[in-house]
Structure 1
């Protein structure tokens, strides 16, 4: 059985939007990994406190460094996998219906779950493998939420799931509170850092002092540490691009990957790029 926890960050960012993150743990490792997570959080003195990117400060910084190292040690030793999904604002989808625009959240989550972990390459035995999804704070209510869940259950009829003999049974999509799930909290550090850097939040200055705040500097330092750990797994890693693979099965085998989503039908608007913003054609005021 595969357990996957999902969370989201910025829906709309200056350069990148629709950030989603997922962390996968196999059932054979689940009990051990969850116990290890509990122990490391207690060890750094954060038991009872929610671990969260937005809480990076002088008090939590060194503790979060240790938690980040713990997460990447898990990845390097095959105990978990992390995937990060985001959309480059330069690539604007075209030809979308009103229904597609309205269901953006559902459609993007569907693509993320379907493709990001390479589940079709995960099960060479062909024996059925069950999937449990834990989604933090689904931003849908009533009928919209029911439609979203029914949409995800349709993955059972998709070629990707059929190839891997992956089964998502009724009741195995669960909305959860990140405060009660350490995998979500620890992944939030990674997801938040990637969102922070891609949208140039490390450059934000206090309007009164025209200087970067202490927390902004600490967040940048933590991001750089995370980036160094990613590069240890994947030398030459490019934060804003989809992680390159050699074999199709690498989508499952790699412990960490990015997916920079581009709609199949799109037009490119270069005015939404970082290069354009910093060019002589735009104001620096």
Structure 2
């Protein structure tokens, strides 16, 4: 019997954004702490009359403060390191090179694999003297079951790696399963944070409805929730930069130890697309537009 069980809840958002894409997130907890965490999050829901599933896309002006109250309860658990939260994404200006057709076709699952293998630092979660069974709960898996089964086998094979064997971590294939986020408050909290980060990194807070001078009330409400999330992150890590990989501070074991981390995933072989960075595009938008002279009709 294993001495400790770890649970990882995974979610995915926005495969293609204006500047950043392929947003993946994960929340890791100790199985022994699950009941207590679920009780704390359910209490926050009930106290604020949040009976339906919580999702970033549902945030509105009328529910902004209720969502912030729930996020406070969620980040209290993150700050206590009872929930380890990880956000992974790619930058559009980093174009992968040499991808095979199979890699392109299976990008969804390959990126999920990278998140599970590296983002939590499972290679540093302990020693071989203490077994740690890892369960993976995935939300909103596509219908292609053949690809999903191949993915499960691939993730389970991590148990055979030298790094996982040294840390005592192992992932039985039977413990990799898709779940319904409606039944898991941890996944709903992850969805909100993941949505907030992709919202801000892709400048969605600046969007205005066509023909309007002002932003929609829903956009303003979402920005308020994002700003509150940022304040909670920066209370853990002052001056936290959401658009770069979180520093290991000279110790790779911090990937496991730290309660909150971002990972800007950069392909092994890539080329930087000139003029496609967020700063480059912003400069072009601010640059004065050329005027067209009116021909002299005399």
Note whether the superposition's TM-score is higher than 0.5. yes
- The number of equivalent residue pairs is 284
| Equivalent-residue separation in structure 2 for 1:201 and 1:284 (angstroms) | 23
Pair 1:256 & 2:264 matched: no
Q: CA deviation at 1:284?
A: 8.3
What is the aligned partner in structure 2 of residue 122 from structure 1?
A: 125
Match of 1:22 in 2: 26
Corresponding residue for residue 79 of structure 1: 82
CA contact (8 A) 1:83 1:117 kept: yes
Q: If you compute each CA radius of gyration, which structure gives the higher value, 1 or 2?
A: 2
In structure 2, the residue matched to 1:236 is 239
RMSD: 1.6
Counterpart of 1:270 in 2: which secondary structure?
coil
Per the alignment, do residues 80 and 265 of structure 1 end up closer, same or farther by CA in structure 2, a change over 3 Å counting? same
- State the Cα distance separating 1:273 from its structure 2 match: 1.2
Scaled by the length of structure 2, what TM-score is found? Answer: 0.91
Gaps of 5+ in 1: none
- Of residues 110, 117, 124, the one that matches 1:107 is 110
Normalising to structure 1: TM-score of the pair? Answer: 0.95
Where in structure 2 are the equivalents of 1:50-199 lying within 5 Å? 50-124=53-127, 126-199=129-202
* Structure 2 residue aligned with 1:42: 46
2:3 pairs with 1:13: no
Deviations 1:185-209 (A, max 9, x none): 0111110000100011001111121
Q: Are the counterparts in 1 of residues 152 and 173 from structure 2 also a CA contact under 8 Å?
A: no
Q: Secondary structure at the match of 1:139?
A: coil
Runs of 4+ residues over 2 Å off in structure 1: 280-285
CA distance in 1, matches of 2:166, 2:57: 39
Q: Do structure 1's residue 265 and structure 2's residue 269 form an aligned pair?
A: yes
Q: Distance in 1 between matches of 2:230 and 2:285?
A: 31
SS in 2 for 1:278: helix
Gaps of 5+ in 2: 290-298
- In the alignment, the residues of structure 2 paired with residue 194 and residue 230 of structure 1 have an alpha-carbon distance, to the nearest angstrom, of 11
